Homo-oligomer: A and B are copies of this chain.
Amino acid sequence: MNLKSLFVLICSMAFSSLTSVAQSIPEGSKPAVSNVRGAVYPRIFTDYRASFQIKSSKAKKVQLQFLSDPKPYDMTQAADSSWNVTTPPLVPGFHYYSIIIDGFSVNDPGSETYFGANKQMSGLEIPENNVDYYLINNVPHGSVQEHWYLSKITGHWRRSFVYTPPGYTAGAGKRYPVLYLQHGSGEDERGWTKQGHANFILDNRIAKGEAVPMIVVMDCGYAAVEGSTMPTDRLKGIKEFENVLINDIIPDIDASYNTMQDRAHRAMAGLSMGGGQTLYITLNHLDLFSQIGIFSGGGLKGFNYKTDYNGVFTHVASFNEKVKLLFFSAGTAEKPYHDATKEIHTQLDQAGIRNVFFESPQTDHEWLNWRRALNDFLPRLFK
């Protein structure tokens, strides 16, 4: 071993001080699919319990904290100085989490990172038993491409991820409808494929003939010229993205892909913040969109169909004629979103506005909610 190799080795050791190690591995569990390659922890049991292990000799207190749960789990130190906890059964799906070491929130080095809460976070995937609609299956796969474009509005290079369905051929005669699909607050254009598995959901629905082959554009919902992340004025943030979507993204996608370019074949959907953006932007541009999906994102303030959105919902006949699909969803465990969405749905029903309300059993304001919502939404699109 030469000096350089020795140095690299020492370096690797220094950098792996938090790495999970295999010690008295709980029986009946296996590494989470959300782990990095080779990480032994976190581990998932078939009954949805999860075990975590952090190697840390100097810490005085180590906790596990899920983003969706205000109460952290205390981890206990074993004789080998590793810190361990096994949770009770958790809701299946995808959970952002952190490890809190002596008061500091850090990533678990055993976990892949997922962009949420405006930073790269650890994530835990608990696969739903006997459910495979969001998993990669042995069916034809569409392609997910990084698509870069120079925004005329912001002056910055921006990136979207574009799903093209199996059999898509650039420049060929066949054209496809387009769904613009937006992430939530604190996330970005990577969320729908990485956390949401949108590409696999599409592959699976299309393979069964249950969804129309379509192009799906997943862009970043933050579009401030100065690059700021969280406009304090919510409406300002929506309008910034509206400007970029209408004037940059849609023209660029129509120029770059084999798209159908009429409103009948253009849809928009989004989750949480992206749902709010979707409702505002589509209702403001019914000349461009005919199909609308709002996943946990109708807003939490009191809804009034008579006055909200410039009273568009009072023009019942023309609205129902123009909007071919108005889809709302919420999880039963995200009570404020669920109740607010149900209120919108109920008022619109009473007003005679045709709309759908999909309820996801027992899911909170998390990605399993939105996988289910997308999976229910897709077969209704472009029909």
Contact = CB atoms under 8 A, between A and B. Distances in A.
A10 interface: yes
A199 B358 CA distance: 41
A4 B168 contact: no
Interface string A138-181: 10010111111010000001000000000011111000000000
Contact of A120 (B10, B113, B117): B113
A38 interface: yes
Interface string A336-369: 1100000000000000000000000000010000
Contacts of A170: 168-170
Nearest to A135: B157
A300 B4 CA distance: 10
Given A145-B145, A169-B171, A336-B2, A103 B37 contact: no
A70 B11 contact: yes
A4 B102 contact: no
Interface stretch (A12-20, A74-82, A311-319, A370-378): A12-20
Question: How many chain copies does the complex carry?
Answer: 2
A45 interface: no
Interface of A is mostly: loop
A151 to B, nearest CB: 12
B118 A36 contact: yes
Nearest to A65: B14
A19 B186 CA distance: 13
A208 interface: no
A117 B37 CA distance: 11
Interface stretch (A221-229, A241-249, A276-284): A221-229
Contacts of A147: 143
Interface in A190-231: 193, 199, 222, 227-230
A193 B148 CA distance: 13
B120 A16 contact: no
Nearest to A116: B15
B148 A146 contact: no
B56 A10 contact: no
A168 B292 CA distance: 33
A112 interface: yes
Interface string A91-104: 00000001001111
Contacts of A240: none
Contact of A18 (B19, B104, B143): B104
A271 to B, nearest CB: 14
A247 to B, nearest CB: 18
Interface string A280-323: 00000000000000000000100000000000000000000000
A148 B141 contact: yes
A16 B336 contact: no
A207 to B, nearest CB: 14
Contacts of A109: 119-120
A67 interface: yes
A70 B10 contact: yes
A326 to B, nearest CB: 24
Given A5-B300, A104-B106, 17 more contacts: A4-B337, A10-B70, A12-B117, A16-B105, A17-B105, A18-B104, A19-B118, A37-B229, A59-B102, A102-B102, A113-B113, A120-B120, A138-B150, A143-B146, A144-B145, A169-B170, A171-B172
A-B interface, 10 closest residue pairs, ranked by CB to CB distance from nearest: A38-B229, A4-B336, A106-B106, A113-B120, A113-B113, A109-B119, A58-B103, A144-B146, A143-B145, A169-B170
